[in-house]
C-alpha cells in the first residue's frame, strides 16, 4: 500500500536511531505514520518483524494497526507484537509467571468480578472504619477505586505500608488520619495477596506484575530488551504513570532505580501523541508523561505534524483559539513548537462553517438539530402520529422523502454529547421526524431489549416472586397472553395474596418442581383464551424444566439455552431475514459468551451467584459494549459521546448541550484519595478545579476537531424539568472568541413547534432491513470444515453466532490440549534452564491433566468420571509411547494470521517441533486429535495440515518438513501428505469456500444422519429428522 507522505511525516517514518517524539495534531495522519514507520523499519532491515513492539490502548486500534501493516507488507512477514498494554502484559505473564510465583492459569477479573471477590473476602481483611457494622459493603466500590489508582501510580503494597507507618513518626498528621491510612495500606496488601493466592488478577495487576517481574528478574528483562529493538507507543498522552514506567523499563530506564541514567540514554523508543487530546484523566491517564518525555530523553528527535487533512481552516482556527486557554501547560509552550494546524484538504467556499444555536429549552434545541439534519441532507419532512421508526425496501426511513440535489448523507453527520444520557431528547426528535440514526460508544449489551428478557428470566428462576421480572417474561408473545389477561391474573393474585406464578399454577392445577398434570380451573377457563391457555402451559413446562436444571446443578448457559430454544424465542428471531434480527441474534450470542466466560472463571458458581454478579455489573454500568457503528455502513446519523468519537471524523458535527454542569461537567473527586506523597505523576501548578477545566477543554477540542466541513454548537436555557436557568458553557465564548451573553439570553429558538408526545419503542432498534453484517472477514479451518458440512450450520454458528449446548467431546479435547501444552512448556523451560531443574515426568503430566480438567457438558457425574478415567489412561499411554526428552518443541499453541484478498485465515498449531535450526528453522507440525481414528482415505482427503503448512511458512518464517496427527485415545500417529499438489488443492478449497461465504451462500445441505446430531436441528426449518 503506497502512501504519499509529507516532509514531516517522512522524517518521522525514516528516523533510524534514538528516541523519537511525534507530536501529531488532530487529522495529521498519525496512524499512517506509525504503520509506515513499522513497515520502513522492516523493509530497511533495521529489525525483523518479531523484534518490533507496538503498544496502543484499544483492541480496535491494535487491530486497525495490524491490518494496515498487513496491507503494507508482503505475505509471510512474521509476527509483530502489536497489541494493547494489557494484552502485551498478559502474554508476558503467561510465559514468565513462574518467575514471580504466579499461577500461569490465573483468572482476569472485571470490575464486577473484583467487587464480588472483595465482598466474599470482606471479613478476611483488617477493615474497621471502612467496614461499618450497619452497612459493611458501603465502601467496597471506593476501596476498589482507591486500589486501582494506587496501581496507576506504581504504588506497591510495601511502599504504601512504609508510608503509612512513617506518618506516626512524623507527627504531622492527626491520629485518625494515621489510623485510616494504615488501615487502607494494610488492606491493600492483604487484598493483593488474596488475589495471588486465589490465582486472580485485575487489569491494574497486569501492568504492576509485569513491572515486578522485570525489576526482580533482570535476566528476564534483559531478554525482552534484547528482543525488542524498536518500541512504538500510540496515544502516549493517554498512558497512566505505571504504563509509562513499563515502557521506560523496556527502553532501559526505570525512573525508580535508574535516576542516574535520566537524560543519558537514547533508546529506539517512538512515542506518538498530542497533549491537546489528552482526555482520559478519569481513568488514570497522566498528561505529564508526554509533557515530560524530553526531560527523560533530551536527545530525542522531535517531529511536529501540523498538516491537517481533515478539516476546514475555520474549524481548525476556532479549535486553536479554544485550546490556547490551556497555556502555558501545553507542549507548544514548554517545547517552543508551533502546533497551529494548517488545512490541506480542499473544500468549496462556505461562509457558514462554525455556527451557534441557542434555544429556550432542551426540546427546542433537539428539535432544531433534527430539522437542521433534514435541511443538510435535502430531505422533506412529514410528521406522523406513529413515532415508531420504519424503513422502506431500500433501508430508507419511510417518513422522509429524498430531494434530488442532496448534498450530505445522514451518515455524514455526527451528534456528539458529553454523556450518553444527554442523547435521549435528540433521539426522540430524530425518530419523530423519521430520521434514521445509530448509537455508537458505550451503550451496553445488558440494556438491549432482547437481553433484558433473558436477564428477567434468570431473575425469576432465582426469585419467582419478583413480579417486575415475571411480567417481563410473561409479556413475551410466545405465550399468547394479552395485556388484559395478565392484568386479570395479577388482580386475582393480589386478592389471594400470592405471586403471579402461584396463581398461574393454581389455574392449571400444577406445582412447578412437582406435579405437571394440567387441569384447567374454572377461573382459567373464564379469563384465558384457548391460545393463552396453550401458551401458559408451554411456559409452565419450560419453567418447570429450568427449575429442575437448577436443582441438578446445570450451568446457567445450559438453562438459558433450553429457554430460548424451547420457548421459540430464538426461532422467532430467525424467521425475519433482516439485519435487525441478525443483530439481535448476535447480541444473544454475546450474552451467552459472557456467561461462558464467567463460568470458565468461576467453575463452582451457580445461577444465584451469576445473577448476583449480573445485578452488580448492571448497577455499576459495566456492560459489554455493543456498537452499532461496527455494523456495515448504512445511511444513518451517528450519535456518540465525545470520548467515543476520538479518532473518528465526519463532514458535519453537532456539539450539543453546551451549558455549565453538562459541558464542562462537574468535577467528581475520589472518595478515598491517594496521598499526594505517593503520586508519582508530576503534579501541575493548577488547582483541582482548573485542572478539571483544562481536561474538559481538551475534550471539547477533540469534539470540535472531528468536523470536516461544518461545526454546529448548540445550547439551551433549560434542561429537563429544572426551573433554574443554565449558564452557557465557558467554552462557547472561548471557541467563538466573542461574548455570547446576549445570544444566550435571547435564544434563537424559543419553544418547540409541537408537543411531540414521544412514547416510543426501544431507541436502538433502528437498523434498516436490507443491511447485512459483514461475513467472512476472518476464517479458520474449523469454519471451512463447518461450511462444507452444511452452509446453514455455518450461518447459525459463525454469522448469527447462535450458541450451542456444551459438548463433553469439546471439554475433553480442551482438557487434553491444555494439558499437553503445559507439559511441553515444562520441557521447553527445562531445556532452556528457565526455572525448571528436573526432567518433566509422567507424574507431572498426570498432575497437569487433573489441573486442566474441564467438567462442562457431561451427561452426568458418572459420565464425567468415565471420561476422566479414560483421559488418565490416555495420558499414561501418551507418555510411554510419544514422549521423549530429545523432542524440541519450537512453538506451542501457535496462533497465526495470514492476510488474504478480502479475508484473513486464522489458525492455531498445537505443536511445532524443531527439526533443524537455522535462519529459516525446519519444523514438524503436530496436531492432536481426541476423536476416533479416521479412515486412511479420509486422512488423505483432509486439508487441515496442508493448509497449516502453507500459512505457517508464510506467516511464521519456517520450513515445514512433515506434519502428522496424533490420535490420543487410539494411541496412533498418522503422517499427512503435504506435497505441493496437496497444498495447492487445500488453497483452492479455502478460496472457493471464502468466496461462497462472502456471497452469503448459506443454503442448507440436510441429510438425516447429519441433522440428527446437529446442534441447530430444533431451529432449522430445513432439518431432516
Tally Cβ neighbours within 10 Å of residue 797: 20
Whether 285 has a binding-site annotation, put simply, is: no
**Cell numbers standing for residue 868:** 476422566
Q: Which helix (H) or strand (E) holds 90?
A: helix 85-96
Nearest alpha-carbon partner for 727 in 680, 794, 663:
663
Query: How would DSSP label each residue in 196-248?
Result: HHTTEE-HHHHHHHHHHHHHH-HHHHHHHHHH-SEEEESSGGG-BHHHHHHHH
Residue 759, pLDDT score: 37
Nearest alpha-carbon partner for 437 in 423, 427, 449:
427
Grid look-up 467431546 returns 809
Residue 287, pLDDT score: 76
Query: How would DSSP label each residue in 107-166?
Result: EE--HHHHHHHHHHTGGGS--STTS-TT-TTTTHHHHHHHHHHHHHTT--HHHHHHHHHH
Whether 986 has a binding-site annotation, put simply, is: no
Tally Cβ neighbours within 10 Å of residue 434: 23
Whether 28 has a binding-site annotation, put simply, is: yes
Grid look-up 517552543 returns 336
Three-state SS annotation for 879-927: HHHHCCCCCCEEEEEEEEEEEECCEEEEEEEEEEEEEECCCCCEEEEEE
Whether 334 has a binding-site annotation, put simply, is: no
Grid look-up 455455518 returns 794
Grid look-up 451496553 returns 444
Nearest alpha-carbon partner for 903 in 750, 1022, 753, 787:
787
CA atoms within 13 A on the CB side of 392: 10
Three-state DSSP at 634 gives: coil
DSSP bridge pairs for 230: 52
Residue 752, pLDDT score: 54
**What sign for the dihedral angle of Cα 808, 814, 820, 822?**
negative
Q: What's the Cα-to-Cα distance from 531 to each of 479, 536, 538, 540, rounded to whole Å? A: 8, 9, 11, 14
Whether 31 has a binding-site annotation, put simply, is: yes
- List, for residues 800-842, the tens digit of each pLDDT value: 777 666 678 888 999 999 999 999 988 888 887 777 788 899 9
Q: How many residues does the chain have?
A: 1025
DSSP bridge pairs for 302: 21
Q: What's the Cα-to-Cα distance from 930 to each of 572, 820, 912, 948, rounded to whole Å? A: 36, 12, 18, 19
Q: What is the pTM of this model?
A: 0.76
**Main-chain phi, psi angles of 840, to 5 degrees:** -60, 135
Q: What's the Cα-to-Cα distance from 381 to each of 389, 408, 653, 772, rounded to whole Å? A: 14, 16, 21, 27
DSSP bridge pairs for 452: none
Helices (H), 757-914: 781-789, 791-794, 808-832, 842-852, 861-882
Residue 386, pLDDT score: 37
**Cell numbers standing for residue 641:** 459521546
**Main-chain phi, psi angles of 926, to 5 degrees:** -125, 130
* 305 Rama sector, left if φ>0, alpha if ψ -120 to 50, beta otherwise: beta
**Cell numbers standing for residue 1006:** 440436510
Cβ-in-10-Å burial (0-12, 13-18, 19+) of 617 comes to buried
Nearest alpha-carbon partner for 797 in 585, 1013, 578, 1009:
585
Q: Which residues does 809 contact at the CB level (< 8 Å), separation at least 6? A: 857, 930, 931
Whether 270 has a binding-site annotation, put simply, is: no
Whether 25 has a binding-site annotation, put simply, is: yes
**Cell numbers standing for residue 46:** 533495521
Residue 767, pLDDT score: 43
Q: Contact 374/433 with Cβ under 8 angstroms?
A: yes
- Show the low-confidence residues of the chain (pLDDT under 70): 1-3, 74-78, 170, 258, 260, 263, 380-406, 441-443, 626-634, 682-684, 751-774, 803-806, 901, 936-937, 940-941, 1018-1019, 1025
Residue 796, pLDDT score: 79
Nearest alpha-carbon partner for 1021 in 612, 570, 634, 468:
570
How far does Cα 97 stand from its chain's mean position? 25
Cβ-in-10-Å burial (0-12, 13-18, 19+) of 124 comes to exposed
Whether 24 has a binding-site annotation, put simply, is: yes
- List, for residues 545-595, the tens digit of each pLDDT value: 999 999 988 889 999 999 999 999 888 888 877 777 777 888 898 899 889
Q: Which residues does 671 contact at the CB level (< 8 Å), separation at least 6? A: 139, 142, 145, 146
Q: Contact 194/127 with Cβ under 8 angstroms?
A: no
CA–CA gap between residue 269 and residue 672 (Å, rounded):
36
Nearest alpha-carbon partner for 651 in 396, 202, 350, 960:
350
Q: Which helix (H) or strand (E) holds 530?
A: helix 530-551
Q: Contact 395/635 with Cβ under 8 angstroms?
A: yes
Q: Contact 660/730 with Cβ under 8 angstroms?
A: yes
Find the distance separating the first CA and the last CA of the chain, reported in whole Å. Answer: 51
Amino acid at each position: 500500500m503506497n502512501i504519499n507522505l509529507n516532509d514531516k511525516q517522512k522524517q518521522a517514518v525514516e528516523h533510524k536511531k534514538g528516541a523519537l517524539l511525534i507530536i501529531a495534531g488532530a487529522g495529521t495522519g498519525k496512524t499512517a505514520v506509525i504503520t509506515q514507520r513499522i513497515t520502513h523499519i522492516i523493509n530497511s532491515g533495521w529489525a525483523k518483524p518479531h523484534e518490533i513492539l507496538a503498544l496502543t490502548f484499544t483492541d480496535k486500534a491494535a487491530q486497525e494497526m495490524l491490518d494496515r501493516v498487513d496491507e503494507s507488507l508482503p505475505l509471510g512477514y512474521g509476527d509483530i507484537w502489536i497489541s494493547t498494554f494489557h494484552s502485551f502484559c498478559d502474554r508476558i505473564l503467561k510465559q514468565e509467571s513462574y518467575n514471580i510465583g504466579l499461577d500461569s492459569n490465573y483468572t482476569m477479573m472485571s470490575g464486577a468480578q473484583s467487587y464480588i471477590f472483595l465482598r466474599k473476602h470482606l471479613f478476611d481483611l483488617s477493615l474497621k472504619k471502612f467496614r461499618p457494622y450497619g452497612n459493611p459493603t458501603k465502601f467496597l466500590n471506593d476501596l476498589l477505586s482507591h486500589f486501582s489508582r494506587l496501581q496507576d501510580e506504581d504504588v506497591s503494597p510495601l511502599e504504601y505500608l512504609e508510608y503509612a507507618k512513617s506518618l506516626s513518626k512524623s507527627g504531622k498528621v492527626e491520629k485518625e488520619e494515621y489510623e485510616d491510612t494504615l488501615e487502607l495500606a494494610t488492606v491493600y496488601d492483604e487484598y493483593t495477596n488474596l488475589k495471588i493466592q486465589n490465582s486472580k488478577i485485575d487489569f491494574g495487576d497486569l501492568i504492576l506484575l509485569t513491572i515486578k517481574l522485570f525489576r526482580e528478574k533482570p535476566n528476564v528483562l534483559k531478554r525482552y530488551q534484547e528482543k525488542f529493538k524498536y518500541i512504538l507507543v500510540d496515544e502516549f498522552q493517554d498512558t497512566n504513570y505505571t504504563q509509562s514506567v513499563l515502557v521506560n523499563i523496556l527502553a532501559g530506564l526505570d525512573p525508580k532505580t535508574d535516576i542516574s541514567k535520566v537524560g543519558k540514554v537514547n533508546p529506539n523508543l517512538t512515542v506518538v501523541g498530542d497533549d491537546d487530546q489528552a482526555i482520559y484523566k478519569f481513568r488514570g491517564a497522566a498528561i505529564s508523561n508526554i509533557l515530560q518525555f524530553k526531560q527523560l530523553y533530551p536527545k530525542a528527535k522531535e517531529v511536529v505534524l501540523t498538516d491537517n487533512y481533515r478539516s476546514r481552516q475555520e474549524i481548525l482556527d476556532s479549535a486553536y483559539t479554544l485550546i490556547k486557554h490551556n497555556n502555558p501547560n501545553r507542549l507548544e509552550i514548554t517545547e517552543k513548537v508551533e502546533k497551529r494546524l494548517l488545512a490541506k484538504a480542499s473544500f468549496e467556499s462556505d461562509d457558514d462553517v462554525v455556527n451557534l444555536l441557542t434555544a429556550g429549552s432542551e426540546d427546542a434545541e433537539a428539535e432544531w438539530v433534527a430539522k437542521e439534519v433534514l435541511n443538510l441532507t435535502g430531505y422533506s419532512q412529514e410528521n406522523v402520529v406513529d413515532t415508531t421508526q420504519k424503513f422502506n425496501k431500500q433501508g430508507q426511513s419511510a417518513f422522509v422523502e429524498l430531494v434530488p440535489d442532496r448534498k450530505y448523507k445522514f451518515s455524514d453527520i455526527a451528534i456528539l454529547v458529553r454523556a450518553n444520557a444527554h442523547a435521549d431528547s435528540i433521539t426522540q426528535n430524530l425518530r419523530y421526524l423519521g430520521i434514521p440514526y445509530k448509537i455508537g460508544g458505550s451503550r451496553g449489551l445488558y440494556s438491549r431489549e432482547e437481553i433484558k428478557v433473558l436477564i428477567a428470566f434468570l431473575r425469576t428462576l432465582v426469585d419467582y416472586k419478583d413480579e417486575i421480572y415475571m411480567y417481563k417474561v410473561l409479556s413475551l408473545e410466545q405465550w399468547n397472553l394479552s395485556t388484559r389477561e395478565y392484568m386479570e391474573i395479577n388482580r386475582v393474585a393480589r386478592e389471594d395474596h400470592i405471586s403471579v406464578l402461584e396463581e398461574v399454577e393454581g389455574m392449571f392445577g400444577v406445582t412447578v418442581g412437582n406435579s405437571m398434570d394440567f387441569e384447567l380451573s374454572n377461573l382459567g377457563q373464564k379469563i384465558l383464551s384457548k391460545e393463552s391457555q396453550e401458551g401458559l402451559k408451554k411456559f409452565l413446562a419450560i419453567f418447570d424444566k429450568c427449575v429442575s436444571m437448577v436443582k441438578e446443578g446445570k450451568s446457567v448457559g445450559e438453562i438459558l439455552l433450553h429457554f430460548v430454544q424451547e420457548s421459540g424465542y430464538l426461532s422467532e428471531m430467525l424467521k425475519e431475514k433482516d439485519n435487525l434480527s441478525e443483530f439481535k441474534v448476535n447480541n444473544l450470542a454475546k450474552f451467552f459468551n459472557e456467561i461462558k466466560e464467567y463460568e470458565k472463571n468461576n467453575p463452582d458458581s451457580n445461577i444465584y451467584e451469576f445473577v448476583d454478579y449480573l445485578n452488580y455489573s448492571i448497577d455499576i454500568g459495566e456492560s459489554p459494549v455493543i456498537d452499532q457503528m461496527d455494523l456495515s455502513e448504512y445511511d444513518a446519523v451517528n450519535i456518540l459521546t465525545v470520548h467515543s468519537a476520538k479518532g473518528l471524523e465526519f463532514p458535519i458535527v453537532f456539539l450539543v448541550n453546551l451549558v455549565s454542569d453538562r459541558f464542562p461537567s462537574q468535577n467528581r473527586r475520589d472518595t478515598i484519595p491517594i496521598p499526594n506523597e505517593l503520586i508519582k505523576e508530576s503534579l501541575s501548578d493548577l488547582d483541582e478545579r482548573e485542572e478539571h477545566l483544562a481536561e474538559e477543554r481538551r475534550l471539547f477540542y477533540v469534539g470540535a476537531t472531528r468536523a470536516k466541513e461544518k461545526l454546529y454548537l448548540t445550547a439551551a436555557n433549560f434542561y429537563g424539568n429544572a426551573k433554574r436557568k443554565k449558564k452557557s458553557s465557558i467554552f462557547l465564548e472561548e471557541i467563538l472568541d466573542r461574548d455570547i451573553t446576549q445570544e444566550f439570553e435571547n435564544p434563537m429558538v424559543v419553544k418547540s413547534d409541537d408537543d411531540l408526545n414521544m412514547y416510543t419503542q426501544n431507541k436502538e432498534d433502528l437498523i434498516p432491513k436490507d443491511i447485512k453484517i459483514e461475513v467472512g472477514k476472518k476464517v479458520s479451518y474449523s469454519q471451512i470444515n463447518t461450511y462444507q458440512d452444511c452452509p446453514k450450520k455455518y450461518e447459525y454458528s459463525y454469522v448469527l453466532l447462535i450458541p450451542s449446548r456444551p459438548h463433553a467431546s469439546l471439554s475433553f479435547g480442551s482438557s487434553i490440549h491444555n494439558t499437553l501444552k503445559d507439559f511441553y512448556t515444562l520441557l521447553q523451560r527445562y531445556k532452556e534452564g528457565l526455572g525448571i531443574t528436573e526432567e518433566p515426568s509422567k507424574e507431572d503430566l498426570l498432575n497437569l491433566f487433573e489441573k486442566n480438567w474441564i467438567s462442562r457438558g457431561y451427561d452426568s457425574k458418572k459420565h464425567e468420571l468415565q471420561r476422566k478415567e479414560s483421559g488418565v489412561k490416555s495420558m499414561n499411554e501418551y507418555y510411554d509411547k510419544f514422549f521423549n526428552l530429545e523432542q524440541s518443541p519450537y512453538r506451542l499453541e501457535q496462533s497465526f494470521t495470514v492476510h488474504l484478498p478480502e479475508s484473513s485465515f486464522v489458525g492455531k498449531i498445537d505443536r511445532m517441533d524443531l527439526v533443524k535450526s537455522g535462519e529459516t528453522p525446519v519444523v514438524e507440525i503436530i496436531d492432536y486429535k481426541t476423536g476416533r481414528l479416521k479412515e486412511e482415505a479420509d486422512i488423505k482427503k483432509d486439508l487441515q495440515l496442508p493448509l497449516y503448512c502453507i500459512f505457517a511458512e508464510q506467516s511464521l518464517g519456517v520450513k515445514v518438513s512433515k506434519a502428522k496427527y496424533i490420535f490420543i485415545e487410539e494411541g496412533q500417529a498418522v503422517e499427512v501428505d503435504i506435497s505441493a499438489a496437496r497444498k495447492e488443492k487445500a488453497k483452492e478449497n479455502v478460496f472457493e469456500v471464502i468466496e461462497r461465504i462472502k456471497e452469503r451462500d448459506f443454503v442448507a445441505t440436510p441429510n438425516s444422519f447429519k441433522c440428527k446430531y446437529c446442534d441447530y436441528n430444533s431451529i432449522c426449518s430445513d432439518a431432516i429428522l
